[in-house]
Structure 1
Amino acid sequence: MTSPFAYPRLDPTDPAAARRRVPALFDLDRARRLWGPWASLDDDASAHIVPRHAAVIRSAVATLPADDPLARPWAQAHATGPFRRFTLDQLALAEPLDDSTASDPVIAAFQRERRDADPRATLRRLQLVAAVGALAADPLPSEQRGGADDSLYGSPIGEHLLYEIERFERARDPEGARESPVLERLAVSAVEPVTRLLAAKNLANYLILDFGVPEAARPWLHRGAALYDELRARSEPWFAHTMIVHFERLVALYWAVSGRIDEARRSLDRAFGSLERAAEDLRGDALPAYYVAEARSFLLGVAVRLQARSGGTFDGVAELVEALDREEPFNPETRMAVAEICAASGDLPSAAEQYEQAAQGGGVTATKAAYRGYEIRRRLGAHDGIERALTLLTEVDRFADVDALIARA
């Protein structure tokens, strides 16, 4: 896997390099709240959307009766690479992990809680696969695989399990999953329209973003969009519109990478319309509200990145930034996109501020943001700004090699 770090780092295995310091600029307590569910499996509505997924499965999804549609996990977030392991170390939330399901105490605790249930039950397997997918970066435990089990086809829960297994494995090894007969079969003939929609979305996502062949994704995008009416007819309105939001934001990305910015904006308009209808249908239940919040978070991020791709200005995304400030002020990925818009338009002071706010969100992206903030401060030339930027970088990544950075400058 390509390193996410764009700057020199010390050897993390060298005990002399493994220093920890009390942060002066990085708000450690806030970052721990934002990522805490990844360490405790306790849900917290104020945390980032992504680390909440496994906690939501444990605290809500897995407690529902088997015949409740929400007893199946519907979040679209997935852990990718060793990012959870890095984040837990960054925030000193856990002892160092090797990121395997065998040694991870949080995953082990979830598995113990499930032991009273039949471990072969398809629904329990589905819940566990989704939870592990939200936590770990290594392959699934062998007992949770089974993508070739034809007996699962024809069952809504069984096909959902097949989808989650494929989604998990592709997130860990995109290149090795260039072809997916299981997902292709589900996209064409799964019992439920939502499974067909999500399988088509996953196939198109990898063709567009991982393999760089967006035209190959068009048949799957057409197939998915053709399911909207059936999905709305067979699902609660909030649920149907939430799934459509996820699909339309991918359609918007397809148009964006194809250079059709006007079409991308139309897709985003449809997605925001579906998001509004989903929110209108909520009745105060926490679990549907979480799924709608996830869709809103991801859609907001795509909207800001589309503005960055199309040469937008900071003033042009003012409304989106207001929503970001109100709902997720420290979302590192979306805040990074805002910073890139500022930098591209020549507003370097605002870019530095936005990068530094993104860094306060914690996680691997915080290291990228802190480094970019340092680069901008160096271009601005103010000595105290450069010193603060380097301090922030070492506080979000204790292995950042500041001496090498200074020498390189």
Structure 2
Amino acid sequence: MVILFLHQNFPGQFAHLAPALAAAGHRVVALTSRFEESTRWRGVEVIAYRYDTPEGRKLHPWSSTFDSAVDRGATVFRACEALKARGLNPDVIVAHSGWGEALFLRHVWPGARIGVFAEFFYQAEGADIGFDPELAGPEIGRSARVEMKNLAMRLQLETADAAITPTHWQAEMHPPELRRKISVAFDGIDTDAIRPDARAELTLPGHGTFRPGEEIVTFVNRNLEPYRGFHVFMRALPDLLRARPQARVVIVGEDGVSYGTPPASGGSWKQALLDEVRDRIPDADWARVHFTGRIGREDFTRLLQVSRVHVYLTYPFVLSWSLIEAMSAGCAIVASDTAPVREAIRDGENGLLFDFFDGQRMVALVDRLMDDPAERIALGQAARQRAVQDYDLQRVCLPAQFRWIEAQSRSSA
């Protein structure tokens, strides 16, 4: 079978599925703008296309997302026409719908089965938009703007044969008439590699060594920003350090913005929040706070293994891999009581939940777990069990994704 993946930042969510299909004997091709030149990656033929963001257009603000999707979709259309002329005729196409890459594929390969990765369908109310009153002022026409923001994703899902998304909550965000096309299968976590290890140690240059048994609080974002609760965590940090005078707080993440917008004052959210709270933290306490930036895969696993309490927050938005990885490592987790988190964490069973905006409650729960090893161990073991049962890469998630691919190939036979 010939399978074509499209993702502007390949491999992205296809990091496990694409090479696994190649290893199973299929011809797997990926089209992406991430690379400058075509290459081969873990058995996948990676073909680069160039995309230049258009400049100087005067657009209505509501149509900017759709216009960008059409522009990128047209670029991909031309690249796919060239691939077809060179003899590529995929049986199955899998494309992330977030950037418009699958908009015009049906015009190139009308007989191919097309599946989209339907990551998120925005809501004017009830999800991330308007969730945080501090950063969401009054907006006239919000529902109309959101309808336009979703338009390219809707069109791709309408023309696709099937779709896949990581969580049931993300599936439920889609309109009922489109939801019927969507299968749910999480991306997958290697629970054999990310597992508890009482002997783990982590040494980070400039930060020292971290060992199991120490009071280590961990907080992880790809980028430190409000969508993942960085502002809530930072505003509670002075009280957390005061409540736990022996604790070391390790904050992992870069200074950019993955979602939302930068601070109105400019610069990074990290700097904005440091400016806000630093004068409330004595220098001796500040020495126990470690901003590591981005760290490597092995170091990140060791960090979770030495963590005594892991804190995770998110708006009602896509669920972070890092939460499931923390569960797999057996962390005692304190997390925001938001819809995507509730799908993985049941309060009091495999973690403790608190209202997203209640930093004082977060501190109280961390403080409680620090003093209660029995509860920490029980929550961590239950979190690990849930990760293995429902989110394991090799035994649960990849087989489900393979079944989804095979269903497309059978339909095209």
Q: Name whichever structure is richer in strand by fraction.
A: 2
Fold shared per TM-score above 0.5: no
TM-score by length of 2: 0.30
TM-score by length of 1: 0.30
